[in-house]
């Protein structure tokens, strides 16, 4: 006689074991939305699965950092895309794994300054590509040359014709690059804060999403805004001819992106393979073509189309961008945000 109870429990155990095994052999990675997830699937996930037979699930979320923090004790993701300052702060809060440089041979082709390291020298994730933060201009409303300096954004003639991002990002990005434009740095921000305050005063709206900013620019509601190179790349790719990205004479801000692993995430073998994969040039070249994120690996050779779009050698562009100390920015995140919030509030009075 068949013992049905035994069979039931055996099946249940097998299902649990199988799901555990599959989780261990799977990559579940959090990325931002707005096309980032789709680009990752095409550029990295699908080729990686073909090569290794490890499934990769790319999950688009509003903020990967929020997911890592929310799942602090039981991470459901075993990889997450992050900016450097967010990764630095997550690491400081004990939320991320760290690694040996020797674990990722491909990183020897990434300049040291684009790697994010902990005070103990351990690596906090794998730097994979970069975007840059310059000025996006609707050329139907103003020539790109009208914004050859960050200081041009403070000109009163642009009152009500600009846009700025939320303090959480402007305190990290705008404040840094505007301080550089004023002769300071991420550590010396007094003049940069005054400049940002003037830009805020000229701003019609504070954009809270890329979709919103794209719409404001495309419809001509605003003339210009400090913005991400990748978004302009994508708009141009969609056929828009009246949106240009300007790198002001004081330079643009380098925005490297990094793949991190939440503390105690499952599937070490799989995520180590994944991290090694995203450090290689091949996937980085593909995502440059798809979404305009540019390779950090010096061995990456852009396709002719991407080269033409870029208009200058990749390495020259990469090395011309301002790379701040993201660890310093992360350590001072709250203070900087408070400064920016106060400056923006005062800009209206």
Partner 1 sequence: MTTSTKPPLILLIPPAILLVAFLTGIGYLVVESLRTDMGWGLGNFVDFFDRPDYVAVLIRTIVIALASTLLAGVIGYPIAYAIAQYKGNRNFLMMLVIMPWLVSVVVRTYGWIVILGPKGTLNSLLMSLGIIETPIRMIFNMTGVVIGLVHVFCPFFIVSVLSVLLYLDRGLNEASQTLSAGPIKTFLNITWPLSLPGVITGAILVYLLSTGAIVTPLLLGGVRDGMLATQIYQDVLQVFDYPKASSMAIILLLAAFSLIIPLQLLERRVAARVSGMGR
- Positions in the binding site for partner 1 (CB under 8 A): 62-63, 65-66, 69, 160, 164, 166-168, 200, 203-206, 208, 212, 215, 219-221, 333-334, 337, 341-342, 344-348
| Pairing relationship of beta strands 126-138 and 55-60 according to DSSP bridges | unpaired
Number of Cβ atoms within 10 Å of the Cβ of 180: 22
DSSP 298: T
Whichever of 284 and 339 has its CB closer to partner 1, that residue is 339
Of residues 179 and 197, the one with the C-beta less far from partner 1: 197
Minimum gap (Å) between residue 140 Cβ and partner 1: 10
206 within 8 A of 169, measured Cβ to Cβ: no
Of 126, 89, 82, 66, give the one whose Cα is nearest residue 255. Answer: 82
Closer to partner 1 by Cβ: residue 318 or 333 = 333
CA distance 158 to 138: 13
Q: CB nearer to partner 1: give 124 or 270.
A: 124
* C-alpha dist (Å) from residue 246 to 6, 116, 253, 311: 69, 27, 12, 12
For partner 1, which is the closer residue by CB, 68 or 106? Answer: 68
Please, what is the minimum distance in Å from the beta carbon of residue 307 to partner 1?
Answer: 35
Token pair, residue 258, equals 């990094």
> Cβ 257 to partner 1, closest distance in Å?
17
Between 268 and 334, CB nearer to partner 1: 334
Minimum Å distance from CB 135 to partner 1?
A: 17
CB of 218 to partner 1, least distance (A): 10
Other C-beta atoms lying within 10 Å of the C-beta of residue 263: 17
Q: How far is the CB of 169 from partner 1 (least distance, A)?
A: 8
Q: What would the two tokens of residue 57 be?
A: 């699930």
| Least CB distance to partner 1 at residue 35 (A) | 17
Closer residue to partner 1, CB minimum distance, 173 or 271: 173
DSSP output for 210-276: HHHHHHHHHTTS-SEEEEEHHHHHHHHHTT--SEEEE--TT--EEEEEEEE-BTT-S-HHHHHHHHH
């Amino acid at each position: 006689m068949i013992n049905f109870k035994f069979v039931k429990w055996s099946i249940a155990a097998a299902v649990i074991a199988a799901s555990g095994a599959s989780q261990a052999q799977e990559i579940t990675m959090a990325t931002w939305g707005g096309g980032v997830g789709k680009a990752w699937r095409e550029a990295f996930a699908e080729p990686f699965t073909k090569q290794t037979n490890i499934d990769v699930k790319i999950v688009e979320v509003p903020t990967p950092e929020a997911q890592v923090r929310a799942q602090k004790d039981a991470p459901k993701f075993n990889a997450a895309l992050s900016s450097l300052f967010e990764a630095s702060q997550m690491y400081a809060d004990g939320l991320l794994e760290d690694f040996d440089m020797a674990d990722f041979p491909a990183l020897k082709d990434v300049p040291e300054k684009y790697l994010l390291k902990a005070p103990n020298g351990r690596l906090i994730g794998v730097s994979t590509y970069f975007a840059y933060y310059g000025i996006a201009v609707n050329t139907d409303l103003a020539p790109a040359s009208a914004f050859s300096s960050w200081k041009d954004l403070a000109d009163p003639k642009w009152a009500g014709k600009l846009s700025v991002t939320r303090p959480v990002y402007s305190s990290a990005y705008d404040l840094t690059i505007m301080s550089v434009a004023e002769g300071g740095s991420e550590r010396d921000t007094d003049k940069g804060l005054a400049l940002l305050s003037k830009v805020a005063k000229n701003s019609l709206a504070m954009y809270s999403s890329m979709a919103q900013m794209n719409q404001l620019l495309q419809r001509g509601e605003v003339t210009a805004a400090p913005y991400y190179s990748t978004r302009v790349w994508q708009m141009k790719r969609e056929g828009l001819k009246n949106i240009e990205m300007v790198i002001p004479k004081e330079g643009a801000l380098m925005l490297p992106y990094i793949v991190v692993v939440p503390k105690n995430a499952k599937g070490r073998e799989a995520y180590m393979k994944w991290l090694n994969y995203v450090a290689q040039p091949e996937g980085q070249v593909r995502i440059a073509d798809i979404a305009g994120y540019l390779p950090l690996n010096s061995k990456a050779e852009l396709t002719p189309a991407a080269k033409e779009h870029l208009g200058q050698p990749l390495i020259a562009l990469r090395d011309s961008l301002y790379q701040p100390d993201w660890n310093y920015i992360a350590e001072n995140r709250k203070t900087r945000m408070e400064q920016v919030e106060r400056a923006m509030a005062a800009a209206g009075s």
